[in-house]
Amino acid sequence: MKDDSLILERQLSFILYVCSKETIRRYQSYLEELNLTYTQYLVLLVLWNGDNIPVNELGKRLYLDSGTLTPMLKKLETKNLIKRVRDTIDGRNVLVSLTDRGRAMREQAKDIPGTIFDETGIPEDVASEMIDKLNDILLKVK
């Protein structure tokens, strides 16, 4: 039996890393048109599907610590895409919500994921299966 545990192309971590890097690279030209980085886009994806979220919940959903998330939120706020307000019920929480401009950007971005899949030639059903399998892996590694 061949021991391939130390072969680069057989490393799950390597394949996930390269696929992620190359997929994010494909997004760049579309996101540049919106003046967004990929991580800023991820923040907006969360907010487009449920507004007025506590910062700590946003961090959990995106797997980002506050040291990474806070400066990004400040940039999105400067771009007038989000606003942060202290929760009136629990002043320890800061809530993040979309501005009108941030909500309107959803329409500009709505075709990006489909375009990326079209470019890669990955059929929608295969992509859906892959997402399910990768979510299973994520549950096991986190």
pLDDT of res. 69: 96
Residue 53 burial (10 A CB sphere; 0-12, 13-18, 19+): buried
Considering the domain boundaries, does residue 76 fall inside one? yes
Considering the domain boundaries, does residue 65 fall inside one? yes
Among 94, 101, 4, smallest CA distance to 57 is for 94
pLDDT of res. 87: 83
Domain range for 88 is 39-117
Considering the domain boundaries, does residue 89 fall inside one? yes
Residue 63: which CATH number? 1.10.10.10
* 2 has pLDDT over 80: no
Count of structural domains within the chain: 1
* 3 has pLDDT over 90: no
Considering the domain boundaries, does residue 48 fall inside one? yes
Convert the pLDDT of each residue in 17-73 to its tens digit: 999 999 999 999 999 999 999 999 999 999 999 989 999 999 999 999 989 999 999
User: What dihedral angle (degrees, nearest 10) is formed by the CA atoms of 81, 87, 88, 89?
Assistant: 150
* 1 has pLDDT over 80: no
Considering the domain boundaries, does residue 32 fall inside one? no
> How high does pLDDT run on average in the chain?
93
Instruction: Using DSSP, state whether 94 is helix, strand or coil.
Output: strand
Considering the domain boundaries, does residue 82 fall inside one? yes
Considering the domain boundaries, does residue 67 fall inside one? yes
Considering the domain boundaries, does residue 1 fall inside one? no
